[in-house]
Every structure is written in C-alpha cells, then in structure tokens.
Amino acid sequence: MEERSPARQRCGECGIWQRRYWEHLIRDERDLRAHMDYVHINPVKHGLVTQVRD
C-alpha cells in the first residue's frame, strides 16, 4: 500500500498525480524541446539519478 501524506489523503490524491496538474498542448519544436529537457533533467534535479542517461 502506498504511503500518503495527510494533505494528499485529504485531497484524495494517490499515485503520480498531483493537484496542480494541467494539460499543455505542445506549440512548436522549441516548446517540445523545452518539455523534453524538463522530463530528462527532473530525476537528476531531485537526486533520483546522478546523470540524465541513468
């Protein structure tokens, strides 16, 4: 069973979804690259891996 904080329990949140989620349509090639960079660097930023390739 997943451990959830009291705040997540109150909001009925579970899994990977977060309360401040919103949809975004990719506008162009530059926007796509920016989002791909975000997805690739986030695990490094949060200390889950030491390199993007991991």
Is the pLDDT score of 41 beyond 90?
yes
Q: What is the pTM of this model?
A: 0.54
Residue 18 pLDDT: 67
Q: How far apart are CA 12 and CA 31, in angstroms?
A: 32
Instruction: Decide if 26 contacts 38 (C-beta within 8 A).
Output: no
User: Model confidence over 7-24: pLDDT tens digits?
Assistant: 777 877 777 766 677 788
Q: How confident is the model over 25-44, as a mean pLDDT?
A: 95
